[in-house]
Amino acid sequence: MKPNLQLDAKGLSCPMPIVKTKKAIDTLKAGEVLEVQVTDKGALADIPAWAKAGGHIILDHSEEAGVITFLIQKV
């Protein structure tokens, strides 16, 4: 799946990945997809919790070489 927007939040620690993710998803239309890359392990819990609270959908998440990637669909 090709995201509509990519966000590089690598190297940032809580709460900045969430702050930047919110700002990025606010620029998207409903149904569009945001790819977020983070290195903060706390994001494994924080981003899904934030997405659920906002009604957004985590389509996928993966981890490779210390980089966690989320695909989030705006609703």
Residue with tokens 């620690």: 13
Confidence at 29, pLDDT banded by 50, 70, 90: very high
Is 14 tagged catalytic? yes
Q: Which of 5, 12, 14, 44 is catalytic?
A: 14
Q: What is the mean pLDDT of the chain?
A: 96
Answer whether residue 8 shows pLDDT above 90: yes
pLDDT at 34: 98
Measured distance CA(58)–CA(52) in Å, rounded: 8
Distance CA 12, CA 58 (A): 20
Positive or negative, the CA dihedral 64, 55, 29, 24 is negative
Residue pair 68/49 in contact by the 8 Å Cβ criterion = no
Q: How many CB atoms lie within 10 A of CB 21?
A: 24
**pLDDT grade for 14, boundaries at 50, 70 and 90:** confident
